[in-house]
Chain A
Amino acid sequence: AQKVTQAQTEISVVEKEDVTLDCVYETRDTTYYLFWYKQPPSGELVFLIRRNSFDEQNEISGRYSWNFQKSTSSFNFTITASQVVDSAVYFCAGSNAGNMLTFGGGTRLMVKP
């Protein structure tokens, strides 16, 4: 069975600060897929990024960047120069066969002006 751990339940920052959300994925499979989803106050789940376990290249998209380290099974998400609109719950999720997603408990990010 897989397990996704998001140790930070809630983070509060002031606008323009950088913030990193942690995620650890535990599985016995060597091939797996990791995802980040954003859940804004309106409630929908918005796909942000997918990472394959065999690709450790970091990725940057605007103010967002992701760091995957297979040795520690961590897939961390950094928001640079945070904005109030970034306030949301962020979920990390994993999938072994590319089918069902196992979600972490989520990290609530509050960005204050």
Chain B
Amino acid sequence: EPEVTQTPSHQVTQMGQEVILRCVPISNHLYFYWYRQILGQKVEFLVSFYNNEISEKSEIFDDQFSVERPDGSNFTLKIRSTKLEDSAMYFCASRVERGAYEQYFGPGTRLTVT
């Protein structure tokens, strides 16, 4: 069964450093998403991406964040200058374009900023 994959599973970085989180969505899916979950809290939407551009973003997704689909398979989230409060689990998700609206999530990347 096709699945969303994410790398790395765990990333530790120092405050102020740039990080790139990588995702490979399910191959025939056309909508891509990033969410985050601070430990013990609910899952929060960051950004959605369709047709090579951002279609929606939340207040959390400020200028420190960017997304990119550098090729036909990868979808990345970049945090330019990490802060302590960026420590969280970051989930990538994807869905097909029409008909079904459920999003399928990857296993997540745990980001720890020290």
A99 partner, pick from B31, B44, B100, beta carbons under 8 A: B31
* CB–CB B107/A102 < 8 A: no
State the majority secondary structure of interface residues on B: strand
Please tell me if the beta carbons of A45 and B102 are within 8 angstroms of each other in the complex.
Answer: no
Contact A99 B56, CB 8 Å, known A35-B102, A47-B102, A50-B100:
yes
Q: Tally B residues with Cβ within 8 Å of A.
A: 25
Give bound CA distance, A102 to B46, whole Å: 11
Name A32-55 residues within 8 Å CB distance of B.
33, 35, 37, 43-47, 50
Inter-subunit contact A33/B56 (CB<8 Å): no
CB nearest to A48 among chain B residues? B102
**Which residues of chain A are near B75, meaning CB under 8 Å?**
none
B residues bordering A, Cβ < 8 Å? 31, 33, 35, 41-45, 48, 55-56, 58, 89, 91, 93, 100-108, 110
